[in-house]
């Protein structure tokens, strides 16, 4: 009997979709990762509170799984509980003419489509980012001059002891690929966005332009976790990597993309150890030749 079986049994009692020994390779855009002891899809805040409180009282590790688009899971898997926000956590509603409330489990694509339908502008930069709303706020996702911090009004969350809470925009401590949620151990459950009225044709045109740029410049034909490294101040990570002659470099089935050196792709049944080794070799060479420390943007489980 595994330690996490107590959480699996509770999830079944609560009517959650619960699975044992679930391959994380099925839930990450890298298509890499061993089995999580328990995987649970949770449909509402009360069930999430119950699961998290039991994990805490039983000393069981857990993590919140979004779309797995910025995640590298160990080949040995995860000795804990992977929690996926579903059901109510994926709902979106219009609060007033400029305000949208969105569950943390909803995809950014769904949110962008909803905003366009409501003739609201400000989220076009997020079109094509393959993540969930909660994950995007957690890391202050951004592209093409826009970031979550520009449009987020407030965020609701659940604490590790199962209490509901809320942070306003001034408390979110947004920075480059970071927020207060990277250190406060709270679970993001919903996000309120303040947007502006716009013309739906103009909104669609901007979304199409950004998506075209992504398709042209990024290796979307291969599994990856997006940009591997944060942008070092005064530089571009991809350019530094290319200047060091690392474009196309392989370790096992992992490869520095020949299309965009800021990406590592799963070219041929790559393992997590391949990706980690390639990341280290990139960091070492860029530090040696350029004197720049590259910091990982990918979250490793």
Our measurement of the distance from residue 282's CA atom to the centroid of its chain's CA atoms, rounded to an integer in Å, reads 23
How confident is the model at residue 163, as a pLDDT?
Answer: 87
How confident is the model at residue 162, as a pLDDT?
Answer: 83
Exactly one of 54, 177, 179, 267 is catalytic; name it.
Answer: 177
How confident is the model at residue 211, as a pLDDT?
Answer: 93
How confident is the model at residue 52, as a pLDDT?
Answer: 94
Q: Averaged over 48-69, what is the pLDDT?
A: 94
Q: Answer yes or no: 169 catalytic.
A: no
Q: Averaged over 178-191, what is the pLDDT?
A: 95
Percent of the chain with pLDDT over 70: 100
Q: Answer yes or no: 177 catalytic.
A: yes
How confident is the model at residue 1, as a pLDDT?
Answer: 77
Whether the per-residue pLDDT at 178 is higher than 90: the answer is yes
The correct CATH number of 5-87 out of 3.40.50.300, 3.30.43.10, 3.40.50.720, 3.30.70.2190 is: 3.30.43.10
The sign of the CA dihedral 52, 56, 58, 61 is: positive
State the fold for domain 220-300.
Answer: 3.90.78
Q: What is the pLDDT of residues 11-30, one digit of tens each?
A: 999 999 999 999 999 999 99
Q: What is the pLDDT of residues 111-136, one digit of tens each?
A: 999 999 999 999 999 999 999 999 99
- List, by residue range, all CATH 3.90.78.10 domains of the chain: 220-300
Architecture of domain 91-202: 2-Layer Sandwich (3.30)
pTM: 0.92
- List, by residue range, all CATH 3.30.43.10 domains of the chain: 5-87
Q: What is the pLDDT of residues 241-267, one digit of tens each?
A: 999 999 999 999 999 999 999 999 999
Exactly one of 54, 124, 147, 297 is catalytic; name it.
Answer: 297
Q: What is the pLDDT of residues 67-99, one digit of tens each?
A: 999 999 999 999 999 999 999 999 999 999 999
How confident is the model at residue 95, as a pLDDT?
Answer: 96
Exactly one of 69, 107, 224, 227 is catalytic; name it.
Answer: 227
């Amino acid at each position: 009997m595994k330690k996490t079986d107590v959480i699996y049994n509770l999830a079944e009692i609560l009517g959650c979709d619960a699975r044992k020994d679930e391959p994380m390779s099925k839930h990450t855009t890298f298509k890499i990762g061993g089995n999580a002891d328990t995987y649970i899809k949770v449909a509402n805040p009360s069930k999430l509170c119950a699961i998290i409180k039991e994990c805490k009282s039983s000393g069981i590790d857990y993590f919140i799984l979004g779309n797995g688009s910025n995640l590298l899971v160990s080949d040995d898997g995860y000795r804990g509980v992977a929690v996926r926000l579903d059901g109510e956590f994926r709902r979106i509603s219009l609060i007033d003419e400029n305000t949208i409330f969105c569950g943390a489990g909803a995809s950014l694509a769904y949110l962008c489509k909803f905003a366009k339908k409501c003739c609201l502008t400000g989220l076009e930069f997020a079109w094509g980012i393959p993540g969930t709303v909660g994950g995007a706020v957690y890391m202050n996702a951004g592209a093409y001059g826009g970031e979550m911090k520009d449009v987020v009004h407030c965020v609701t969350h659940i604490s590790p002891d199962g209490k509901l809470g809320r942070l306003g925009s001034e408390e979110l401590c947004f920075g480059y690929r970071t927020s207060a949620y990277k250190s406060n151990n709270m679970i993001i459950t919903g996000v309120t966005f303040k947007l502006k009225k716009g013309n739906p044709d103009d909104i669609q045109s901007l979304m199409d332009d950004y998506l075209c740029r992504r398709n042209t410049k990024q290796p979307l034909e291969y599994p990856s976790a997006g940009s591997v490294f944060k942008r070092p101040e005064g530089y571009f990570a991809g350019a530094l990597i290319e200047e060091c002659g690392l474009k196309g470099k392989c370790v096992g089935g992992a490869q520095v993309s020949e299309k965009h050196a800021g990406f590592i792709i799963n070219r041929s049944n790559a393992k997590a150890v391949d990706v980690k080794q390639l990341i280290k070799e990139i960091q070492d060479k860029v530090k040696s030749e350029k004197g720049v420390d590259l910091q990982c943007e990918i979250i490793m489980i």
